[in-house]
């Protein structure tokens, strides 16, 4: 449907622009077809069971809700809450709760409930914490209380 709309708009253009729009439309169709094949091939090469997200963790029932005692154990492991400059960041406790929710349910980041904040924020912080080696230490701290949690 968008392609038809683009072609109708091209008909309303002056003749010198019409040729450009027609070439652009053809290029776009070819490009999208190639991109679609490439994306499908990349997904097919991905190891089975790897949705690109975090591995599902064996968290206990209610393990995605941080109790005061769990939070006290994890809090010292986290980087400073407030960045030195820029916009104030979302609360670490809320974001960590979202990460644990995704780990427990195995859901996609985009399915994260609103109470944990924007999924983009939770996912980017999860990536940063994994790269910095903070995430395994968080899981280790949580596993001290409950041995069913593993890194």
Q: What would the pLDDT profile of 111-130 be if each residue is shown by its tens digit?
A: 999 999 999 999 999 999 99
Structure confidence at residue 10 (pLDDT): 81
Query: Which residues of the chain are under the pLDDT cut of 70?
Result: 1, 47-65, 83-84, 145-151
- Backbone φ and ψ of 106, nearest 5°: 75, 15
Structure confidence at residue 60 (pLDDT): 53
Q: Does some domain include residue 51?
A: no
Q: For the chain, how many structural domains are there in total?
A: 2
What is the domain extent for residue 75?
A: 68-143
Whether 28 and 72 map to the same domain: the answer is: no
Burial 17-48 (b: 16+ CB within 10 A, else e): eeeebeeeeeeeeeeeeeeeeeeeeeeeeeee
End-to-end CA distance of the chain: 47
Structure confidence at residue 104 (pLDDT): 84
Structure confidence at residue 50 (pLDDT): 46
Q: Does some domain include residue 62?
A: no
Structure confidence at residue 120 (pLDDT): 93
Q: Does some domain include residue 28?
A: yes
DSSP code, position 82: S
Q: How many CA atoms lie within 13 A of 70 on its CB side?
A: 18
d(CA 102, CA 107): 6
Q: Does some domain include residue 59?
A: no
């Amino acid at each position: 449907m968008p392609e038809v709309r683009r072609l109708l708009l091209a008909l309303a253009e002056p003749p010198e622009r019409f040729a450009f729009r027609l070439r652009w439309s053809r290029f776009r169709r070819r490009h999208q077809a190639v991109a679609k094949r490439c994306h499908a091939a990349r997904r097919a090469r991905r190891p089975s069971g790897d949705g690109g997200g975090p591995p599902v963790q064996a968290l206990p029932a209610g393990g995605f809700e941080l109790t005061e005692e769990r939070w006290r154990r994890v809090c010292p492991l986290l980087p400073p809450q407030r960045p030195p400059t820029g916009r104030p960041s979302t609360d670490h406790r809320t974001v960590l709760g979202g990460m644990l929710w995704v780990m427990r349910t195995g859901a996609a980041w985009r399915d994260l409930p609103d109470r944990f904040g924007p999924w983009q924020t939770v996912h980017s912080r999860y990536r940063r914490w994994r790269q910095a080696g903070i995430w395994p230490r968080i899981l280790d701290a949580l596993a001290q209380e409950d041995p069913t949690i593993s890194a």
